[in-house]
Structure 1
């Protein structure tokens, strides 16, 4: 599975060529799971654009300048000193080894392997089937982790009118003082003072003990969801936690982040800012909303997974097992991920998808950004275009992904390709892969849907379908077949958006509703849809027929 793919093996010499079809690059983070050529050390980089030296063939010896290379991306002359390390076409560099884990202190142990912090709503509305389903699903997930990932460390925050971290060893409650609930800063300060008492247990050795405490969860008062999220962030920051899972069925109504009544800090701003902080910490936040008939404003809570690369589900108690199993079974391939795209001058990032709006803005402005965490199904798309006619015969492109792996090592994966410049549409069509553009426009439509503009998202997909059908008339037969395939898939995406639109029109617009929760959850999922997920589903359906 190549990490970098392009719409075609050729690049349009002018923007007017195939202007109604986006030219995109796809970065498949699942490729991080397969280690390519590994080098210990840092590659030689251009001091201007940071493009890596690709091969020793680029090195020139000169009596006046000395040993140097001309950057193939920006044309800058770079003098070479010290050890020569080249990047090649696809290389994984280990630039920092894992931290020493021979120490026995709690924090060192918690930085080894995966760590999962569950934030569980035990408010009064969770009574009965909802809480029973949560307890059952979490117990099953703990059993699965104990069998398949026994080194995973598990922690538990319970929240209702009170917020507490449960010591899973002793059963003691480590309570967040109520006088801190209204202030993010106060919650951070109070949680930091409690850190000596906050410990995680490995599921392999403590599965029965953890399941015992999960079984003892019981419903109580209101829903101090915001303070629980803020406490979770403070713990994640000090314990280097990779994943936080929030399970709730109700509307946050106490403390900072409350979605009812007047708030000094608007809830949208609070969850948006918390999402950015979790992302900077390299922590994915997943949200599981349990359908109870009433709305829980997942549009707002969804800002947490939207910013961090997490997932969001809206499920009935009977569907909860599958969602929790998917989250427990999914692994993070990289944390603290940073992406940089290196292109020649005049080739710019027009748009991007598969990440949050803030990250997209960074990528458009400077072709690089921190994106948080990535897993096997994460895909990032760059739409690129030339600012003027491309006169060269080829366009070199390099993607650099800097990340922390599961063992704590800091790595850089560098992938480089060289695209032949096409002078007409026919050259591009010969090697066109329409699945890239189809996935890109689907993710962009999901982004628009999540922001509340499903109509614009439907127009985007419809326009792309029309453009592809027009191009299919002159395309090679193999490309025509692929276009027919993607059209069926995109028709399904349009139909689903239409269904959600009709459902939203029938729901009350002035208050949170179950219809809105389902629609915004669907939008976020569409925004993260990978090509593998889109076209594997179509293949499975064809196989069943």
Structure 2
């Protein structure tokens, strides 16, 4: 676990007016007060200075007057005021010099101050590292969990000997648990790993996965593009989409036979029919007409396919089939995706790479329909196919061509839920992108992450209000990262500030490549601070950048664009302040390009491309948010899906694609001047 800050900051919580009055005017008597330990009694209460947000607000509202001057200490005895009487005044000597007035907080500065609502209580979890158990020693004894909140006992847990057993008071929910085990047999560590089966050679597990190329061969694949050839003459040639896919597939086959000779590869094409070539060594199987509308029939036929040979034996046959592909007909993308996933589900860790240039217009997953019922059916279809792939450890990637309309906002669901890639490419970029997908191997499946925090805290932008969040991750690759953001409950903020530390625990349950069930538990403690300015130097802007990218993209996909914009602006202001303070020009340029792309997602959202429906939607923006006639453009959907699964190494990528994406947005605004933009 990697936190965005060295401390948990509770100074940026928005307080209600009633709670502000209690803090600044009516301090509770049950808490120890600073004046009890001083030689004089003061009328003011400086606990409000612990809240950075309220300090800034008070300084701006009372800009005409400085803060009250604290009185001098005297040797007078402490005389606490009686209930109902006025507080005694302290007399000062005439020759005493008052202390200097504290400097005011200026509303203008050379670099923008972080927003009061910008939270740094963020944690990033690098799942790819945590599920890799090659260098982790497994514990012999199983973890012990709390009977109330299911937190595991760890090195920070406090135990004491009872009459008949060991008593462990859970540090998360304060539940007293009686332990019958001996103290030596209890795994009390901050990092616990447990595997169900006896340890085996983790590195030499046989690769049983498949690679399935699902290729569009419809008539639109004959469209040509102008491409520059880098040779001695620097010629410019025209290449069709089909030719670019064929070249990319042949290069991918060469890569696989050289680096993964035991891996099995299958080819499936789709136009008006779906054709299964398999490894190229058997007779192709074709699905057409009514068969493309029957999901049960398609799944049952997949079970009758012959076993595939490894690429070392099927290379020449597959190469021949790829070269013989011809473009014609419509686009039966939905049935082809269903057959591909059904075949890949038979082998854990398989990949499905879909290459297309148009809307699915035949069979299941029909995307050209404009009526609400058909659109909902298509949405549920792709969601169901994606969830089935997650259960069997299959990763789906969707690649499309520039300048096409594939309804990527719906088709991208397949890649989004399985951890695959969604990208829009020009013909030259396909070979490198496919090779990157082939190198991105699944190292764990059926991954479930459980994150437990203190009862005084809650998870922001999550459906649960409990202090425990369970997230179904599914497939995990070497670069998979997830982030969480948490805050302090408003009713408990005053009590929370008196604590020194708070515990955090992550529980990962997953299945390894060799199909062993495993669990890993990581526990940490973090100190609490009420002054965010004192820990600014320890803020990790990389963690904040990944978090705001994932969160804003998810909120934008859910239609919560105002919340996405707010998060982007607050975090950007905070990060810029930190970068300006450190005076690191490289980091400043890096994050300026990154957040420019995130802001673009919030600038343009659900757009109604129907001119006849525009006037009707102007009167009711809330209803228009749910209208199925509105959808992301493919360019916008591609960027949103990529940011939704943002990873640390993506911060170092060139911003050329992001600039090209912004140009596409401007062109879309000019093309649809009457389109409704829901903010």
Q: Is the 8 A contact 2:479 2:647 kept in 1?
A: yes
Q: In the alignment, which residue of structure 2 is the partner of 1:297?
A: 407
Matches within 5 A, 1:391-430: 391-430=498-537
More helix per residue? 1
- The alpha carbon displacement at 1:496 in A equals 3.8
Structure-2 separation of matches of 1:72 and 1:272: 39
Q: Does 1:224 align with 2:323?
A: no
Does the Cα contact within 8 Å between 1:287 and 1:305 map onto a contact in 2? yes
Q: Is the 8 A contact 2:242 2:327 kept in 1?
A: yes
Pairing partner for 2:162 from 62, 68, 71: 62
Aligned residue for 2:307? 199
| Equivalent in 6, 10, 24 of residue 9 of structure 1 | 6
Matched position secondary structure for 1:39: coil
2:361 pairs with one of 253, 265, 277: 253
C-alpha distance in 2 between matches for 1:383 and 1:51: 19
CA displacement, residues 283-331 of structure 1 (integer Å, 9 cap, x when unaligned): 221100123x341111211121122221101111111112111111112
Q: Which of the two has higher C-alpha Rg?
A: 2
What is the CA deviation profile of residues 194-247 of structure 1, one whole-angstrom value per residue up to 9, with x for unaligned ones?
Answer: 413243332244333333333333323211111112223333344445322111
Q: Which residue of 2 aligns with 1:313?
A: 423
Aligned match of 1:542: none
Matches within 5 A, 1:51-90: 51-55=151-155, 58-64=158-164, 66-81=165-180, 84=185, 86=187, 88-90=189-191
Query: Which one of the candidate residues 363, 368, 372 is aligned to 2:474?
Result: 372
Q: Which has the higher contact order (CA 8 A, sep 6+)?
A: 1
SS in 2 for 1:197: coil
The farther-off stretch of 112-121 and 392-401 is: 112-121
CA distance in 1: counterparts of 2:385 and 2:437, whole angstroms: 21
Secondary structure, in 3 states, of the residue corresponding to 2:460?
A: strand
**Alignment check: 8 A CA contact 1:363 1:369 kept:** no
Match of 2:391 among 238, 263, 280: 280
Q: TM-score, structure 2 length as denominator?
A: 0.67
Tell me the matched-pair count.
Answer: 507
Contact between 2:117 and 2:570, CA under 8 Å: does it hold in 1?
A: no
Instruction: From 590, 593, 597, give the equivalent of 1:489.
Output: 590
Shift in CA distance, 234/472, structure 1 to aligned 2, threshold 3 Å: closer
1:430/1:170 Cα in 2 relative to 1: closer, same or farther (>3 Å)? Answer: closer
1:275, CA displacement in angstroms? 2.5
TM-score, L = length of structure 1: 0.82
- The correspondence for 1:382, drawn from 480, 484, 498, is 484
Deviations 1:329-379 (A, max 9, x none): 11222211110002222222113xxxxxxxx64798950021111222221
Gaps of 5+ in 1: 101-109, 352-359, 539-545
What is the CA–CA distance in structure 1 between the aligned matches of 2:441 and 2:481, rounded to whole Å? Answer: 15
Q: Do 2:280 and 2:321's aligned partners in 1 also have CA atoms closer than 8 Å?
A: no
Tell me, in whole angstroms, the C-alpha distance in 1 between the residues paired with 2:630 and 2:439: 30
* 1:444 and 2:551 are equivalent in the alignment: yes
**Aligned twin of 1:115:** 210
Q: Distance in 1 between matches of 2:364 and 2:501?
A: 54
| Per-residue CA distance 1:154-210 (angstroms, 9 max, x = gap) | 22322111113223252312333532322xxx3234422441324333224433333
Contact 2:257 2:315 in 1 (8 A): yes
Match of 1:434 in 2: 541
Aligned with 1:162 (options 266, 273, 279): 273
Give how far 1:260 is off.
1.5
- Using a 3 Å threshold, how does the CA distance of structure 1 residues 531 and 112 change in structure 2: closer, same or farther? closer
Structure 1 residue 485, shift from structure 2 partner: 5.5
The answer to whether the aligner puts 1:525 opposite 2:642 as a matched pair is yes
User: Quick one: distance in 2 between partners of 1:420 and 1:505?
Assistant: 42
Residues 87, 414 of structure 1: 8 Å contact kept: no
- Counterpart CA distance in 2 for 1:312 and 1:151 is 27
- CA separation of 1:70 and 1:200: change in aligned 2, threshold 3 A: farther
Instruction: Report the Cα offset of residue 58 of structure 1.
Output: 4.8
Contact 1:177 1:190 in 2 (8 A): no
1:27 alignment counterpart: 125
Cα deviation, residue 535, structure 1: 4.5
Equivalent residue, structure 2, for 1:153: 264
SS of the equivalent of 1:38 reads coil
Distance in 2 (alpha carbons) for counterparts of 1:80 and 1:194: 51
Q: Distance in 1 between matches of 2:188 and 2:256?
A: 37
